[in-house]
């Protein structure tokens, strides 16, 4: 793993702990709101999508028949991972908040703490390996 990969991998947990530390700022502080919003919008999803990154890269996007944009596959894959990170983050926030509400222990600090721990755990987990696409015959069911 290169140092650049390590920095990219540790960025979401760092954002989570920074958002948790930002709760010490005054309630109406724009810095507090920005740190928490950025983390909740993309942090947990980026860490969880990073786990399955190699598996997502097995099949790249296919462009239109006439290739006008040579970087279509790269741009399309980046957009896909970005949108997945946002939607997985929202799902993680909703799941953690629902669990805390159901157990009558809901608070903003607990939601951020649980998500920061989840993000840190996901960042330290080994990446899933990509399995080669299965080869099936033209007429087979699978």
Condensed to tens digits (0 to 9), the pLDDT of residues 23-78 reads 998 888 899 999 999 999 999 998 988 887 767 666 666 656 556 666 666 777 78
- The confidence score (pLDDT) of residue 127 equals 75
- Tell me the C-alpha distance between 42 and 88, whole Å: 8
Please, what is the average pLDDT of the chain? 82
Helix and strand numbers, DSSP H then E, in the chain: 5, 0
Residue 108: pLDDT band with limits 50, 70, 90: confident
Whether pTM > 0.85 for this model: the answer is no
Q: Which two tokens stand for residue 75?
A: 């741009």
- The confidence score (pLDDT) of residue 139 equals 59
Helix (H) or strand (E) holding 79: helix 72-102
Check: CB of residue 111 under 8 Å from CB of residue 100: yes
Q: What is the mean pLDDT of residues 91-118?
A: 93
- The confidence score (pLDDT) of residue 60 equals 63
Nearest to 95 by CA among 80, 115, 113: 115
| Phi, psi of 102, deg, nearest 5 | -65, -30
Helix (H) or strand (E) holding 55: helix 53-56
- The confidence score (pLDDT) of residue 100 equals 94
Higher pLDDT, 113 or 140: 113
């Amino acid at each position: 793993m290169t140092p650049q990969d390590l920095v990219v991998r540790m960025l979401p947990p760092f954002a989570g702990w920074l958002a948790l530390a930002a709760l010490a700022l005054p309630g109406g502080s724009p810095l507090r709101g920005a740190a928490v919003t950025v983390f909740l919008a993309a942090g947990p999803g980026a860490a969880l999508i990073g786990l399955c990154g190699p598996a997502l890269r097995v099949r790249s996007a296919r462009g239109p028949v006439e290739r006008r944009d040579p970087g279509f596959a790269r741009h399309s894959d980046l957009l896909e991972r970005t949108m997945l990170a946002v939607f997985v983050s929202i799902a993680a926030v909703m799941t953690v908040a629902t669990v805390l509400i159901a157990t009558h222990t809901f608070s903003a600090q607990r939601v951020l703490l649980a998500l920061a721990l989840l993000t840190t755990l996901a960042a330290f987990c080994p990446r899933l390996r990509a399995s080669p696409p299965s080869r099936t015959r033209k007429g087979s069911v699978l």
